[in-house]
């Protein structure tokens, strides 16, 4: 099939919709769910809570319809009294009865034959604040890891817009970037549906800019997105986060030279949790392969340049696996963007992101020719805030605020060591954030606002009706308000735990961070000094007992005095 024929067929997929799905309210197209006979129409948020006096038109039929007993011809004005969430208007047509309701969220209509590989599709973007509902053509596929099986129902999608000739076509939606690549995140195993979206926005608000921000001030280490409602093949498919893609463009990495083959910026994703992606093991890599023990090359891709080069990532993994805490203190900032690493470690602890310690992390180098440090970007926080990846037991952690990893991340484990020069800055940074974005009330308000955004336009009820007791959720009921209450309760417990057990300023002299200053700390301090040498090292580490910024023999005298004073108090 040639490109022009393809474009014609795709257009027919839109035109062939049922005639009465093409009813317009003040110029806004309504969309018909072919199973429930419900019509959904996007209108401005300001239309809610008031009467909507609207011109009603039909696209393909001149037969009048009846709205709540009133006959309406195309072009007539009808008043929809007191628009509110879940309120329905009965519309009788000669093809049957429809039930009209309104939303203030954008609506995406997606049609095609979807699977694991990209295939041709059409989409319509219905914006409540605009009347541009021109259909687009796209290449679309299912996306995701464990959520993308043939038994899955509410799918994630990756959309790549194309023009009539099949070339890349870029478009901006809702003030997001102008691009052809877009993600539909279903929140498939999330009983709140929005954990990932809220967590990513939290990260965007708290994280340091990457080390190269002076060159690329618009670089983002977390994708932006908004909640919308989606129809797939004439069936209402629920609420989705419509987001940008995490890629070279989002991170503003320097492009490789296609003419010379010279690599500059690089990007990898931790696709699977392995000892390698957790930086506590090392295996040889093959530059002719797109993957390396759980890492997936995202830029530049093997189709663009061969061989690839894993050396910068590989050296960082080897360092994380083999370095002592003393080597880490002196050399970590040669390998990693440490302010960002500290922020991410804080985020992991607050969210208890048990699926984000090795996998679901993007590692990037801005330009390997000028700076070989790795920074990171976040992805996929569905499993956070007390949620688990198993919908049969989605809430195993509310009474268990810690999680025992089969292999913890070698980098974040060292950052959290009492002997790390990055631990005191981590505690200080947490305490700063704790009085701002990480205040429990502020945290809870993010989830409350996300819930209200969907609930106030009726999308919560529509989502629940569509997916409650689905096999994606192991047959469990979907109660988003109950999940909100669970999250708020969990936040209180989690922050209380972290305040008192994790990001706690160590006692002066508590070198091993066991909450007691005793002879064991003296032994550890001596071992630290022997490891660093007689000149000591500039440090924020807990071994700096006298606070002069150096861990050396003078600190031995200080800790002996502390131990003697403690013993004197208890005589």
Q: List Cβ neighbours of 225 (8 Å cut-off, separation of 6 or more).
A: 176, 183, 185, 197, 200, 241, 242, 243, 244
Question: In the block, which residue shows the tokens 């900032």?
Answer: 333
**CB–CB of 423/542 below 8 Å?**
yes
- What one-character-per-residue DSSP string does 338-385 give? HHHHHHHHHHHHHHT-TT-SSSSEEEEESBTTTB--BEEEE---SS-T
**CB–CB of 154/170 below 8 Å?**
no
**CB–CB of 32/17 below 8 Å?**
yes
Domain ranges of the chain: 9-104, 519-569
**CB–CB of 505/434 below 8 Å?**
no
Q: Shortest CA distance to 10 belongs to which of 107, 150, 109?
A: 109
Beta pairing partners, 79: 53
Read off the pTM: 0.89
**Residue 553 to residue 530: CA distance in whole angstroms:** 10
Per-residue pLDDT of the chain (571 residues; tens, 9 = 90+): 444 444 434 444 443 344 444 899 999 999 999 999 999 999 999 999 999 999 999 876 668 999 999 999 999 999 999 999 999 999 998 888 999 999 999 999 999 999 999 999 999 999 999 876 678 999 999 997 766 677 789 999 999 999 988 999 999 999 999 999 999 999 999 999 999 999 999 999 999 999 999 999 999 999 999 999 999 999 999 999 999 999 999 999 999 998 888 999 999 999 999 999 999 999 999 999 999 999 999 999 999 999 999 999 999 999 999 999 889 999 999 999 999 999 999 999 999 998 999 999 999 999 999 999 999 999 999 999 999 888 888 887 776 666 666 678 999 999 998 889 999 899 999 999 999 999 999 999 999 999 999 999 999 999 999 999 999 999 999 999 999 999 999 999 999 999 988 898 777 778 877 778 888 878 887 887 777 665 556 556 677 777 777 788 888 888 888 777 776 665 5
CA 120, chain centre distance (Å):
27
Q: Shortest CA distance to 260 belongs to which of 305, 309, 311?
A: 305
DSSP 8-state class, residue 146: T
Q: How many CB atoms lie within 10 A of CB 405?
A: 14
The full length of the chain comes to 571
């Amino acid at each position: 099939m040639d490109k022009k024929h393809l474009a014609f067929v795709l257009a027919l997929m839109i035109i062939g919709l049922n005639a009465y799905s093409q009813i317009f309210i003040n110029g806004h197209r309504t969309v018909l769910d072919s199973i429930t006979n419900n019509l959904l129409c996007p209108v401005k948020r300001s239309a809610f809570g008031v009467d909507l006096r609207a011109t009603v038109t039909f696209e393909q039929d001149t037969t009048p319809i009846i709205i709540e007993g009133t006959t309406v011809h195309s072009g007539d004005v009808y008043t929809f009294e007191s628009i509110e969430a879940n309120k329905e208007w009965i519309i009788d047509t000669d093809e049957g009865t429809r039930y009209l309701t309104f939303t203030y969220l954008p609506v995406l209509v997606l049609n095609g034959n979807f699977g694991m590989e990209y295939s041709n599709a059409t989409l319509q973007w219905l914006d409540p604040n605009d009347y541009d509902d021109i259909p687009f053509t796209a290449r679309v596929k299912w996306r995701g890891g464990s959520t993308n099986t043939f038994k899955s129902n509410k799918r994630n999608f990756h959309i790549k817009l194309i023009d009539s000739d099949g070339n890349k076509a870029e478009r901006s939606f809702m003030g997001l970037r102008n691009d052809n690549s877009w993600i539909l995140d279903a929140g498939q195993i999330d009983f709140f549906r929005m954990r990932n979206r809220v967590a990513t926005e939290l990260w965007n608000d708290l994280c340091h800019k990457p080390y190269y921000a002076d060159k690329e001030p618009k670089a983002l280490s977390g994708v932006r997105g908004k909640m919308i409602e989606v129809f797939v093949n004439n069936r209402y498919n629920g609420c989705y986060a419509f987001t940008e893609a995490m890629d070279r463009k989002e991170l503003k990495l320097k492009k490789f030279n296609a003419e010379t083959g010279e690599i500059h910026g690089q990007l990898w994703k931790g696709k699977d949790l392995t000892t390698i992606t957790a930086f506590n093991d090392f295996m040889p890599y093959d530059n002719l392969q797109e993957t390396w023990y759980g890492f997936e090359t995202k830029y530049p891709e093997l189709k663009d340049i061969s061989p690839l080069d894993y050396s910068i990532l590989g050296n960082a993994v080897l360092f994380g696996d083999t370095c002592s805490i003393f080597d880490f203190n002196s050399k970590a900032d040669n390998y990693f963007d440490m302010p960002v690493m500290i922020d991410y470690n804080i985020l992991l602890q607050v969210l208890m992101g048990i699926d984000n310690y090795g996998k679901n992390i993007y590692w990037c180098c801005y330009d390997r020719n000028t700076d070989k440090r790795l920074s990171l970007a976040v992805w996929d926080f569905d499993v956070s805030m007390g949620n688990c990846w198993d919908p049969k037991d989605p809430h195993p952690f509310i009474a268990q605020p810690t999680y025992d990893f089969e292999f913890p991340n070698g980098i974040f484990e060292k950052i959290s060591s009492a002997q790390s020069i990055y631990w005191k800055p981590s505690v200080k940074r947490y305490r700063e954030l704790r009085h701002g974005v990480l205040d429990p009330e502020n945290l809870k308000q993010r989830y409350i606002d996300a819930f209200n955004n969907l609930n106030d336009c009726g999308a919560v009820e529509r989502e629940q009706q569509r997916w409650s007791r689905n096999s994606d959720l192991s047959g469990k009921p979907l109660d988003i308000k109950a999940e909100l209450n669970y999250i708020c309760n969990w936040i209180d417990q989690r922050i209380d735990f972290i305040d008192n057990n994790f990001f706690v300023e160590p006692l002066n002299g508590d070198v091993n961070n066991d909450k007691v200053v005793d002879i064991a700390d003296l032994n550890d301090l001596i071992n630290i000094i022997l490891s660093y040498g007689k000149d000591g090292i500039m440090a924020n580490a807990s071994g700096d007992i006298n606070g002069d910024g150096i861990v050396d023999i003078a600190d031995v005298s200080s800790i002996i005095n502390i131990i003697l004073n403690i013993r004197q108090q208890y005589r």
